[in-house]
Amino acid sequence: MRVLGIETSCDDTSVALYDSERGVSANLLSSQVDLHGVFGGVVPELASRAHLVNLLPMVDLLMERQQLRLRDLDGVAVTAGPGLLGALLVGLSTAKALCFAADLPLVGVHHLEGHILANALTADLVLPATVLIVSGGHTEVVHMPEVGVYERLGGTLDDAAGEAFDKTAKLLGLPYPGGPPVDAAARRGHPGRFTFPRPLMSDSRTVFSFSGLKTAVRTMVEALPRPLDDQTIADVCLEAQEAIVDVLCHRLFQAARRKQARAVYLAGGVAANGRLRERIADEAGRRGLHFLPPERVYCTDNAAMIAYAGWCHLAAGRTDPLSLDSFARAPLASWR
């Protein structure tokens, strides 16, 4: 079974092909980082326009490289949401047109389910599992007893962890998106010079809050003498990252213990963070839980995860009508 995947939920245009016999046979990505970097964040209108320009040529390129025609596909999977509505509509409209033209089944995929199932592109899933989804727009913990069944255990009360990374980077003059440069700088940092709060660590609920941490970092950085030297930047990155990672790990393993999970997984763009992967691997080993992080190429937004999720739904006999709408927000467990 061959499934074409389309991902346009934010600022990356991606198309991929998942083959049930070969796995991911193609995964193309057009990044808009340079386009939005000068603004310090994603500009929705610019993102939508870039998707319009890039998407169909990328589909054509993928099909040409794979020596396939539309009739050789078994379905088209597309991110229906959550995300930027204009960006989502570009992908969904394109998927509908392809399905209508070739009489193919359409499968809408929840963006967060795609991120969760990206773990299955690395190795077979061990279930039941508790998953930490962490990105620029999402920070939540989900329990997965089986593929397609998701229970949201909790999430952020304000800002996402990825926003805390981006804000820290911006305050220190590091490029956007902030996660990779903060991670890189933190590895040169000296511990103990700064201290930042770990919000809600004593709370028994599965909740996060990063607004106070962002404020603490800003207050600290604004009080430092200028210009900031490289070592100071590295030291701030180290302690800010440790604060974020401490909270994320605490909540993940707290939830996994309560749900008696056999495995823990990471999902989302921040899943590429080296320190977070190290800490979860160490703690999972101590607790006897399975953990294998997704390949970094599948952490950020990509169509391979959407194609695979679509294949899972097609294999289970689930499809969507061409009247399917995109959505900016909707819970994973009950969006259909």
Q: pLDDT tens for residues 257-296?
A: 999 999 999 999 999 999 999 999 999 999 999 999 999 9
**Residue 64 belongs to domain with CATH number:** 3.30.420.40
Residue carrying the six token digits 């820290």? 168
For residue 75, count CB atoms less than 10 angstroms from its CB and return exposed for 0-12, middle for 13-18, buried for 19 or more.
buried
E strands, the chain, in order: 2-7, 12-19, 23-31, 75-81, 106-110, 129-134, 139-146, 149-155, 263-267
Q: How confident is the model at residue 336 (pLDDT cuts 50, 70, 90)?
A: confident
The answer to whether residues 106 and 240 belong to one domain is: no
The answer to whether residues 130 and 251 belong to one domain is: yes
The answer to whether residues 230 and 194 belong to one domain is: yes
Q: What is the total count of domains within the chain?
A: 2
The token duo for 320 is 């969507």
pTM of the model: 0.94
Q: How confident is the model at residue 241 (pLDDT cuts 50, 70, 90)?
A: very high
Rg of the chain taking only CA atoms, in angstroms: 20
The answer to whether residues 257 and 181 belong to one domain is: yes
The answer to whether residues 169 and 70 belong to one domain is: no
The token duo for 308 is 């695979």
Instruction: Write the pLDDT tens digit of every residue in 138-172.
Output: 999 999 999 999 999 999 999 999 999 999 999 99
Q: What is the mean pLDDT of residues 81-104?
A: 98
Range of the domain at 149: 125-293
The answer to whether residues 158 and 56 belong to one domain is: no
Cβ-contact 193, 234 below 8 angstroms = no
The answer to whether residues 131 and 269 belong to one domain is: yes
The answer to whether residues 183 and 278 belong to one domain is: yes
The answer to whether residues 231 and 326 belong to one domain is: no
